[in-house]
Chains A and B, each alone.
Chain A
Amino acid sequence: MALVELENVFKIYQVGDEEIRALDDVSLKIESGEFISIIGPSGSGKSTLMHLLGCLDTPTSGKITLDGIEIQNASSMELAAIRNRKIGFVFQSFNLLPKLNVAQNVEVPMIYAGVSAKERRERTMEALKKVDLENRAKHRPMQLSGGQQQRVAIARALINQPRIIFADEPTGNLDTHTGENILNLFRELSQQGSTIVLVTHNPEIAAVTPRRIEIRDGKISFTEDDRLAGTSLNK
């Protein structure tokens, strides 16, 4: 069974009398271990799709299954638990907590998971080692460069060993070189077995992933999978 499965998902916003179909009958499968990108211009519905996949929101109709759990009818508390244990987020603007130091930032998800302080420390150092920042543990986010901050965010996303990681324009605030480093890091993680979903408007960045999904006007307009030797299914 697929790790994530969307079946006929709609997300409809009511603005005044007007009905806005942010997602219009979307069906999608993401297998465990996949490295996939969702591309689309702003306003296409890719953010909405990511919010639904990331359990930050629930669909108007349709069925979403994540790791065998149906989430379209889950309560906010259940969604919080799923986000905590099964999902990692990496944001464009890093979204580190400025008052906490690097190690504390990485620890936050474990606190909500109820991990003991001793284990938190050990796992934090392990995760920071993975992103090459173990000697920055006591720094504040503001003392780090953008690339370093994003690596801290990735460490935080990895800390609870999630089933899937969502990266929303992870290179958007970085220069090209640093952006490449971050993408390489994602590629490494993917090779180590992580499932990663990259959300971007930039086709060049999307090109690093074997599989690409393009969203336009709330529909999946295009799917490309390098593993299928360059064939495109929807063309």
Chain B
Amino acid sequence: MWLERLQNIDRRVIYTVLLIVLLAPMIKPIGIPLTVNQTTHQVYNLIESLDPNTDIVMIGMDYSVAGAADVHPQAVAVAKHLANRGVKMVMAAFVPDGPMLAERILGILGDRVTYGEDIVNLGYLAGGESAVKKFIDDPANTFARDHRGNPISSLPIMNNIKTIHDFTLIIDFQTGSPGYQDFLRQLPSDGPLYAVGIVTVSVPNVMPYLHSGQFAGLLPGLRGGAEYEVLIGEPGEGAARMDAQSLGHLVIVTFIIVGNVAYFLSKQQEKSRKK
């Protein structure tokens, strides 16, 4: 009887246990030690190698609010790193939520950057892959005004951008389409390096591109963001949420094991009854 019950635990019990396990570490963080993956190191080292005097980075704000819990901490941590190093950033979005999320990052960066000189939020361009292509073809003239309504010609940072080759690195934070496939199809082979920050669920899909060298780096989901925060020595929301995600995974695995042990034992009982 109890084996039967363990195989069919009420979903409300699962929901409640998961809710408690997710909420508890957010209220009182545990601080589970976090080791940094090689892919995150790769992005960090890439940004460390940039020259603040000559290099400009394009940040693709191609993630939606829905996936922001997974990707936003990465974008914030990378932007902080670039700002700390004095590397110039051009933010552009090919999904509608992007410019508003870019404004949030600008709010977090505060005095570390001067808007228009060190960083710009170009806004959103509709068109999916066509829009990506247009920006790659002519980054200087694709946006007439930035997200705040300033003419592009009035922004000193944009005086340095004539072609896509003026960017040393494109780091694209994304949750779907347009995303890495659109950029990889449209970027010239001698173009800037391309790295991605992506939702955890998409990580298995992008592994071949990382191994083939088409990606210069990969930040995998919330963990990537948390690891990056550790690397730059500024723990933020990524690190805080990692405890919750970690315990959540453990709870799911525990439920799976419990269900399978009960299933296995009930099968054994059934067999012995038949004998």
A-B complex is real: no
